[in-house]
């Protein structure tokens, strides 16, 4: 028999222990790793990792697994952030309907000198202009201001912080 080195620790408010967090960091970076590989990295057996991932999925911590595509290579070289100021609160039905457009990637309501921030990716300036005019037409929209990305130096998803150094990576 083997003396299992089990260390229970859920010191974190999120209910995730150290191993969970490490796993999540690994998966947020690259989710197509075999459990066998992950299991070595977190010092567990493959089925144990499987079990944890299943739980994290069930609890909604892991929302899904997606392929990261290259904007330029799929024909959408133009990335822009659009600030939208509106009459009221901002998040109306026609605004929400914008998510049907393939080039709208994110929609947030925010505090600050604007109401909405949209992240969009267009195939051409003309396409971006069309999108803008479409937004301007929406009932309640006062104005828009665009920020076209010249370069993207980092783009990744949420990732739990390491132990409690509270910083690195």
Residue list 74-133, contact with a second copy (CB under 8 A): 74-76, 79, 81, 91, 96, 99-114, 117, 121, 123, 127
Of the two residues 9 and 32, which places its CB atom closer to a second copy in the complex? 32
Does position 43 interact with DNA (CB under 7 A)? The reply is: yes
Does position 36 interact with a second copy (CB under 8 A)? The reply is: no
Of the ranges 1-9, 105-113, 141-149, 155-163, which one interacts with DNA (CB under 7 A)? Answer: 1-9
The candidate with the shortest Cα–Cα distance to 32, out of 71, 70, 68, is: 68
Q: Which two tokens stand for residue 131?
A: 């999108």
Chain length of the chain: 169
Of the ranges 2-10, 38-46, 60-68, 135-143, which one interacts with a second copy (CB under 8 A)? Answer: 60-68
Alpha-carbon distances, residue 122 vs 34, 94, 108 (angstroms): 35, 20, 18
Does position 7 interact with DNA (CB under 7 A)? The reply is: yes
Alpha-carbon distances, residue 153 vs 27, 108, 123, 143, 150 (angstroms): 21, 22, 20, 29, 10
């Amino acid at each position: 028999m083997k003396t299992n080195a089990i260390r229970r620790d859920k010191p974190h408010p999120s209910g995730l222990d150290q191993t969970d967090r490490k796993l999540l960091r690994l998966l947020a970076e690259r989710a197509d790793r075999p459990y066998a590989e992950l299991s070595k990295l977190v010092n567990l057996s493959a089925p144990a990792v499987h079990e944890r991932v299943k739980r994290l999925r069930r609890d909604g911590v892991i929302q899904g697994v997606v392929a990261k595509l290259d904007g330029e290579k799929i024909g959408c070289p133009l990335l822009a952030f659009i600030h939208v100021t509106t009459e009221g609160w901002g998040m109306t039905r026609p605004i929400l309907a914008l998510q049907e457009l393939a080039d709208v990637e994110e929609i947030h309501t925010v505090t600050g000198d604007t109401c909405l921030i949209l992240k969009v990716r267009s195939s051409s300036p003309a396409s971006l202009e069309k999108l803008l005019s479409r937004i301007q037409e929406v009932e309640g929209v006062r104005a828009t201001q665009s920020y076209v990305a010249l370069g993207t130096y980092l783009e990744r998803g949420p990732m739990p912080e390491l132990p409690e150094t509270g910083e690195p990576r």
